[in-house]
């Protein structure tokens, strides 16, 4: 007898899929129902189902994450309401999927395909999953910084930051409203920032271009940055001075 697992976070959707499967494939035994990706993995280990129906968007671990873990252990059918980039990839890779709400005709088609494949080993999805992971919208530059102010945490919009300065193992974040500390070292931080908007000017300082009022020369002729509405000035070290030559 064929066994199956359903992983879906919304109770109604779970019940609906279960009902449709019962109609289309009465002999199929649902051995587990999971509400999130983590539960799905635990249930798969315990019950060893032949087929796993996985919702793509689930808490803790997504359906794609679960499929990656279950690689080769059972047939996978993805369930989704709307994930156009994933669906295009599924069609291309002949992967089974069900769109929500599940229509009886679609379920019937998936069931007949699953029955035909039952004797074969599960499809190898690793290439497809890797491709999907690569297609996920890129992280993009950092937009919010989680910083500590005293002993509470606060999100600071990167746009508000005037400059960052390294202080021991912390990095000081300076905005017009005050200062806060983050744990990230300044060189890691610089990688994540939008480098069109922030320039490193010193081994220990990154400045927001928007905060610069002008670039002066100090008495040695080295460039120093004068900030808008601030008294302090930031020294530009020799390594980074070339960026200001044209200014």
Partner 1 sequence: MTEHTPASASAVLAALKRGFSFSWTTIAIIVVVCTGIATFESIEDMRPYWHPFVTVELCGLAIAYCVNVARPWTRARPIVHLAIAVAIGAILGHALMVPTKNFILEQLLNEPRLYTLDYVLSHKKTFFFSAFSAFLVGLCISVFFLLKFREARAAEALHKAEAERLLLAKQAMESELKLMQAQIEPHFLFNTLASVQFLTETDPPQASRLLGHLLSYLRAALPQMRSESATLGQEVELAEAYLNILRMRMGSRLDFSIDVPPALKTHPFPPVLLISVVENAVTHGLEALAAGGRVNIAARLDGDRVLVTVEDTGIGLSGPSRPGSGVGLLNVRERLSALFGVRGRFSLEEAKPRGARATIEIPFAPANPQPALAAAQA
Q: How far is the CB of 56 from partner 1 (least distance, A)?
A: 10
Give the burial class of 8: count Cβ atoms within 10 A of its Cβ; 0-12 exposed, 13-18 middle, 19 or more buried.
buried
Q: Any contact of residue 182 with partner 1 (CB under 8 A)?
A: no
Binding-site member from 119, 178, 231, 245 for partner 1 (CB under 8 A): 231
The binder of partner 1 chosen from 26, 121, 137, 150 (CB under 8 A): 137
Give yes or no for a contact between 191 and 200, defined as CB atoms under 8 angstroms apart.
no
Q: Locate tokens 């919208």: which residue?
A: 137
CA atoms of 57 and 65, how far apart (whole Å): 10
CA distances from 183 to 42, 142, 166, 197, 203 (A): 35, 15, 10, 21, 17
User: Among 48, 115, 131, 154, which residue interacts with partner 1 (rule: CB under 8 A)?
Assistant: 154
Q: Can residue 197 be called a binding residue for partner 1 (CB under 8 A)?
A: no
What minimum distance in Å lies between the beta carbon of 137 and partner 1?
Answer: 4
Size, binding site for partner 1 by CB under 8 A: 44
Q: Which residues make up the interface to partner 1 (CB under 8 A)?
A: 9-13, 15-16, 35-36, 38-39, 57, 59-60, 81-83, 100-101, 136-140, 143-144, 146, 152-155, 157, 159, 216-219, 221, 224, 226, 229, 231-233
């Amino acid at each position: 007898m064929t066994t199956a697992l359903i992983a879906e976070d919304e109770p109604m959707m779970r019940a609906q899929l279960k009902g449709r499967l019962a109609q289309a494939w009465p002999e199929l035994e649902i051995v587990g129902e999971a509400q999130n990706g983590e539960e799905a993995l635990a249930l798969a280990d315990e019950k060893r189902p032949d087929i796993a129906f996985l919702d793509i968007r689930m808490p803790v671990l997504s359906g794609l994450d679960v499929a990656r873990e279950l690689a080769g252990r059972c047939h996978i059918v993805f369930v989704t309401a709307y994930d156009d980039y994933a669906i295009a990839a599924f069609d291309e890779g002949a992967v089974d999927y069900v769109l929500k709400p599940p229509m009886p005709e679609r379920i019937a088609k998936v069931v007949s395909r699953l029955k035909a494949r039952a004797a074969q080993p599960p499809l190898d999805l690793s290439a497809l999953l890797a491709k999907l992971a690569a297609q996920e919208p890129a992280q993009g530059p950092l937009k919010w910084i989680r910083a500590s102010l005293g002993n509470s945490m606060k999100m600071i919009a990167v746009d508000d930051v005037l400059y960052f300065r390294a202080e021991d193992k912390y990095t000081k974040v300076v905005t017009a409203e005050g200062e806060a500390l983050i744990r990230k070292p300044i060189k890691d931080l610089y990688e994540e920032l939008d480098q069109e908007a922030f320039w490193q000017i010193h081994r220990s300082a990154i400045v927001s271009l928007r905060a610069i009022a002008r670039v002066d020369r100090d008495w040695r002729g080295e460039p120093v940055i004068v900030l808008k509405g601030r008294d302090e000035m930031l020294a530009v070290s020799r390594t980074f001075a070339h960026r200001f030559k044209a200014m």
